[in-house]
Amino acid sequence: MSESDLVAIVGFVALFGLMAIRVPVGIAMGIVGIAGFAMITGWGPALNQLAISPLRTITDYNTSLIPMFILMGVFATRSGISSELFGAGRAWLGHLRGGLALATIAACSGFAAISGSSVATAATMSKVALPEMRKAGYPDTLATGVIAGGGTLGILIPPSVVLAIYAYITEQDVGQLFIAGVIPGLIAVFMYMAVVMIMARNAAPGAKIGIAERLRALRGIWAVILLFIAIIGGIYMGVVTPTEAAAAGAFLTWVIGALRGRLGWRETRASLVEALRTAVAIYTILIGAMLFSYFLAVTQTPQKITAWLTGLDLGAYPTLALILVFFLAMGCILDAMAMIILLVPIVFPVVTQLGFDPIWFGIIVVMTVELGLITPPIGMNVFVINAVIRDAKLTTIFKGVMPFVAADIVRLIVLVALPALTLWLPRTMG
């Protein structure tokens, strides 16, 4: 075993040890990255990287869209759009068996399209949809499971902050990644709705609503629809860059909230502060990831893992399956952001060596991360719902979300087997 191999092993043990004692992942990666880099190259080069990496990360044009999409999501949350999305879904789907749960899935997909955050989607819809489903007599297993599952759409349906971070780490086109998430996102919505209809097959149908009232319910969400079309359509046709779309989306979301009287000066200031805090947390992780990447580079860890995996001669798809199983296992102990930033730089060279499309792999990785958001023991979305609705038991939520986990696994298998479903739209971009 070479010195660099020993340093790499010690580094990873130290990293997981720091995270185990609740050191924030960005700081843990930064500490291990600098210390490990110094052990190989000396403290002079290590401190030089520490001096230039934060500024390089913060001023990188490719990361500038992240705070804009975060701000857009915060404005959307504070402007009450979620209630109108749920109301529209209820008007059109409420008469079906499990109609309120179907409306929740529809509202989650709509909110995901303007928030880009799974946690925000789950937290917001917990406040909006869960009381209504309880009032209608829905069991907590179904009501909380729907919200936890639907919340995962926040990191897949574009614009997604997680996809933007994947693009930055792997140096891929973020616009293509956003467009690639559209069809898998729609498939997820329809599969979740199918799960709801199966779970609620014995439930009584809701009352029917006339067409006039249904059309009135759409008035509250026209702005959301136009906003999504403007952002994703603009990126798809090449009219705007993703960064320009992010800035325009944040501004237009604020305009929508202000015109509805929900984003006055006090709310706007609070939104800016909240977005700033979130952005600082994400940039801290990105800076730590950059420092850790230097450590990986000098120890040649990705290259050695690539050589080892390809040397097993398992074939492309069995190796991919091994990587995804590893991601699923790590999802039980790491949150979504940590999985993307820590694991993708290690396995990405393997994936490209095997000939897989990096855009397609990005979607597959995000769907795998989605599973981590709703599977024990971490299950971030489950804990978010439990924190918002205190009397919703963790065991009840995990039980309710299991059918959605099964649907996610089926969807993952389908999209791995049929890459064209993911890549068709990006290949037609203007």
Model confidence pLDDT, tens digit, residues 399-426:
999 999 999 999 999 999 999 999 999 9
Is the pLDDT score of 273 beyond 80? yes
Nearest CA-CA partner of 105 in 153, 158, 162 = 153
CA distance 240 to 366: 24
Instruction: Report the 10 Å Cβ neighbour count for 59.
Output: 9
Tokens of 143: 């009501």
74: CB partners within 8 A, 6+ apart: 120, 271, 274, 275, 278
- Number of separate domains in the chain: 1
> What is the pLDDT at residue 302?
83
| pLDDT mean over 81-98 | 88
Close Cβ partners of 395 (under 8 Å, ≥ 6 residues apart): none
What pLDDT is stored for residue 1 in this prediction? 62
Stated pTM of the model: 0.88
* pLDDT value, residue 430: 64
- Cα→Cα distances 164→224, 288, 333, Å: 21, 17, 23
User: Tokens at residue 163, please?
Assistant: 């996809």
pLDDT of residue 195: 95
Q: Among the listed ranges 88-97, 316-325, 386-395, which one has the minimum average pLDDT value?
A: 386-395
Q: Which amino acid is at 57?
A: T
Q: What is the pLDDT of residue 410?
A: 95
The tens digit of pLDDT for each residue in 126-161 reads 988 999 999 988 999 999 999 999 999 988 998 888
Cβ–Cβ < 8 Å for 267, 13: no
Q: What is the mean pLDDT of residues 359-375?
A: 91
- Per the CB < 8 A criterion, the answer to whether 195 and 150 are in contact is no
Which DSSP string corresponds to 107-168? HHHHHHHHH--HHHHHHHHHHHTHHHHHHTT--HHHHHHHHHHHHGGGGTSSS-HHHHHHHH
pLDDT at 197: 93
Q: What is the H or E stretch that residue 171 is in?
A: none
| Residue 359 structure tokens | 């855009």
Tell me: pLDDT of 249 over 80.
yes
* Distance from C-alpha of 339 to C-alpha of 368, rounded to nearest angstrom: 10
pLDDT tens digits along 345-363:
889 999 998 999 999 999 9
Residue 39 has pLDDT above 70, yes or no: yes
Residue 3 has pLDDT above 80, yes or no: no
What's the rounded mean pLDDT across residues 221-241? 87
What integer pLDDT is reported at residue 422 of this predicted model?
Answer: 96
Would you say residue 331 has pLDDT above 80? no
Nearest to 24 by CA among 280, 275, 276: 280
Contacts of 132 (CB under 8 A, 6+ apart): 86, 90, 100
Please give the structure tokens belonging to residue 210. 């006339």
User: 272 pLDDT band (50/70/90 cuts)?
Assistant: very high
The pLDDT assigned to 57 comes to 86
Query: pLDDT band at 68, cuts 50/70/90?
Result: very high
| Structure confidence at residue 255 as a pLDDT band (50, 70, 90) | very high
Per-residue pLDDT averaged across 213-229, rounded? 83
Confidence of residue 268 (pLDDT cuts 50, 70, 90): very high
Q: What was the pLDDT predicted at 82? A: 84
Q: Which residue range is the domain that position 337 belongs to?
A: 3-427
Q: Are 139 and 196 in contact (CB under 8 A)?
A: no
Cα-based angle 180, 194, 390 (whole degrees, multiple of 5): 90
If you ran DSSP here, which 8-state letter would residue 314 be given?
A: -
Cβ neighbours for 201, distance < 8 A, ≥ 6 positions apart: 97
pLDDT (mean) for 199-228: 81
> What is residue 45's predicted lDDT score, i.e. its pLDDT?
87
Place of tokens 């609705």: 389
Q: Which amino acid is at 425?
A: L
pLDDT digits (tens, 9 = 90+) for 90-121: 999 988 889 999 999 999 999 988 887 888 88
